[in-house]
Amino acid sequence: MKIAIASDHAAVDLKAELAQWLRDEGHEVADLGPATADRVDYPDFGYKLATAVASGEAERGIALCGSGIGISIAVNRNPACRCALVGEPLSAALSREHNDANVLAMGARLTGVDMAKACVTAFLTTEFGGGRHAGRVEKLSQPAL
């Protein structure tokens, strides 16, 4: 699977570890930055990740920042993205099964490496359930204002 991954400065170490692990697992990984722990703004990297997923350059995305909150908000600004902020594998699996999430967000200050890997595994291996969920998911990209 082709996976795009991006973070802010607070999550650069977790991003590097997950990117290497995903490559070792046989995935193609596009690391969208940043490359160092120098201060950056999470919206810039969230938007970059959202563009990669929305355009089809990546099948799925992983968004990381200190809490996961800010970057998930940035990703979800793109109507083609359904980014779920999770901290454990059940939520990651349900984000796929019920919401057809295409981006997973986590907080590096809140989620350890082993738990992050468990979340990513659940996210990548769970299929969308369709059925009663399909109409709801469709509405996510077409908000009635």
Please state at what angle helix 113-125 crosses helix 89-97, rounded to 10 degrees. Answer: 20
**Is residue 66 within 8 Å of residue 85, measured between CB atoms?**
no
pTM of the model: 0.95
Catalytic residues: 65, 98
**Is residue 122 within 8 Å of residue 90, measured between CB atoms?**
yes
Compute CA 77 distance to the chain's CA centroid, rounded to the nearest angstrom: 13
Q: Domain residues of the chain, as ranges?
A: 2-140
Asked, as a colleague might, if the bond just before 143 is cis with ω within 30 of 0, I would say no
Q: Is 77 annotated as a binding residue?
A: no
pLDDT tens for residues 25-79?
A: 999 999 999 999 999 999 999 999 999 999 999 999 999 999 999 999 999 999 9
CA 38/CA 59 separation, integer angstroms: 28
Compute CA 78 distance to the chain's CA centroid, rounded to the nearest angstrom: 13
Q: Is 99 annotated as a binding residue?
A: yes
pLDDT tens for residues 99-135?
A: 999 999 999 999 999 999 999 999 999 999 889 899 8
CATH architecture for residues 2-140 = 3-Layer(aba) Sandwich (3.40)
